[in-house]
Every structure is written in C-alpha cells, then in structure tokens.
C-alpha cells in the first residue's frame, strides 16, 4: 500500500524527473494528477489564459527551469519559502507550494472542486534544510514525541497513536520516479508518517479532560509536526538532494 503525496511533492518529484529525462509527459500527468479531475496552470508570464499542466511545464522549461522543489510551510515556520510577501502569504494559506529553480517563479496550488489550479507568481531564492539534518531532526523528533506522549499516557486517550509510535519501522511506501535519491524517498515516507501521527493525536484533542491537558499534548506534538514538514520539504527539493 502506498501513501498519497501532497500535490506539491508530486509536482516537484515528477516535474524534476521530466526535466532530467527520467519520465515521459504521460507518466508525469498520471502521477501528478492522481485522483484529481485535472491540473491547470494560470499566470504564466507572457501567456494568456489557462494552460494545461503539460503546457505549463513546457513553458517553464523554456524559461530555464532546472528543477522543481516543494515547500510545506506553516504559520510561524515558513520553511522552504524565500519571499516575496505575496507568495509567502498564499503558500502559507494552503500549506504548500512549488519553487521552479532557474526561473524566479513559484506555483501555489488551489483546489476548485475536483481540479487543482496552479497559480504562477514571482518567488525568491530560499534556504533549505539539509537532507541529513532534516533526517536527524525528524528521527529525534519521533523519539522525543514518543516519550512525551508516553508520559502523558497516550495509550489511554489514543491507543492507535501509541501503536504507531511503538511500530515506527512500519510505514507505507511512497511512489517516486527514477532520479529521486533513495534516501529522499525514505525520508518523505517518514515525514508523512510523522505528520499522520500528529493529525491522529490531535483529533478531538485526544479526548482531553482539561485545557491544561490539551496544551500539554499540543506542545508535545508541535516539534514533530515542524520536523515532518521540514523533512518533506528537503526530500522534495532537488537543490537539497545529496550528490549521486
């Protein structure tokens, strides 16, 4: 069984694979669109109206695109973003974006029914977490969160979370095209595992009995949620990939 990557991760991996000759357009379309009805691109410089995803990718390649990198920011933690303010604001609103290396442009996804619309905007240079650093931060975050939640008796209020934390070796695979380093594929799988644990643990605040308990549980989960987003950003950004 495989885990579905966020739209920006899919576009980053498969768009980069296409640019580097590892994937044909039809394969890219299938992988990026997935279960959605369609993906389109708007706001391309010197282009009127709406472009198909293939047309959008081709236009970006003509403008000098060398790779596509993802960002998964949150309020107070704009990881993977480098401005300007309008692009950061829109990316923060949806929690993801794609930066197009070599063009000074970025794409922010928006959902309209069963379709995804990628809006092109100017995007600045960014600083990224190193893959190794992101990996170490995520591993330590999982261990620290597991201990913190054990101290808060996670097995009592969310036994399924306790089960997942006790079996961190078991995680669903993610589909990746040729050219993505194995280490990054594995890091993305761990990042999605971490964010799934956080989402599960925060459901209905775990049946917390008091505001103090809610605060404790959220405090225990924030570092893991941040580490998960940072790890997924690094894993899906070719600028941060280790050399082959």
Name residue, tokens 């570092």.
223
pLDDT of 212 reads 78
The CB density around residue 26, as the number of other CB atoms within 10 Å, is 9
Domain-by-domain residue ranges, the chain? 7-122, 131-240
Sign of the dihedral defined by the CA atoms of residues 87, 192, 39, 15, in that order: positive
* Confidence at residue 202, expressed as pLDDT on a 0 to 100 scale: 77
> Which residues neighbour 167 within 8 Å (Cβ) at sequence distance 6 or greater?
none
Please tell me the pTM assigned to this model. Answer: 0.92
Whole-Å CA distances, 179 to 16, 23, 205, 236: 9, 9, 40, 12
Average pLDDT per block of 10 residues along the chain, 244 residues long:
83 98 96 96 91 96 97 96 98 98 98 96 94 95 84 71 65 89 95 87 63 81 94 97 81
- Give me the pLDDT at residue 1, please: 45
Measured distance CA(99)–CA(93) in Å, rounded: 16
Q: Which residues of 99-129 are buried (b: 16+ CB within 10 A; e: fewer)?
A: bbbebebbbbbeeeeeebbbbbbebeebebb
State both tokens at 137.
Answer: 């931060």
Peptide bond into 2 cis (omega under 30): no
């Amino acid at each position: 069984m495989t885990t579905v990557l966020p739209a920006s991760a899919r576009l980053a991996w498969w768009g980069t694979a296409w640019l580097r000759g590892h994937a044909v357009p039809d394969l890219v379309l299938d992988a990026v669109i997935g279960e959605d009805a369609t993906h389109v691109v708007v706001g391309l410089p010197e282009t009127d109206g709406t472009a198909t995803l293939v047309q959008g990718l081709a236009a970006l390649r003509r403008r000098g695109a060398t790779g596509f990198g993802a960002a998964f920011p949150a309020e107070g933690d704009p990881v993977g973003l480098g401005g300007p303010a309008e692009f950061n604001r829109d990316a923060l609103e949806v929690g993801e974006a794609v930066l197009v290396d070599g063009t000074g442009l970025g794409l922010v996804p928006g959902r309209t029914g069963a379709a995804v619309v990628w809006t092109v905007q100017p995007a600045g240079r960014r600083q990224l977490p190193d893959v190794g650093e992101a990996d170490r931060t995520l591993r330590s975050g999982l261990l620290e969160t597991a201990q913190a939640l054990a101290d808060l008796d996670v097995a009592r209020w969310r036994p399924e979370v306790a089960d997942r934390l006790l079996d961190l070796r078991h995680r669903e695979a993610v589909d990746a095209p040729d050219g993505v380093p194995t280490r990054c594929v594995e890091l993305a799988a761990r990042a999605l595992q971490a964010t799934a644990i956080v989402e599960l643990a925060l459901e209905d605040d775990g049946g917390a009995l008091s505001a103090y308990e809610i605060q404790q549980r959220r405090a225990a989960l924030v570092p893991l949620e941040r580490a998960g987003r940072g790890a997924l950003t690094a894993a899906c950004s070719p600028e941060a990939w280790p050399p082959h």
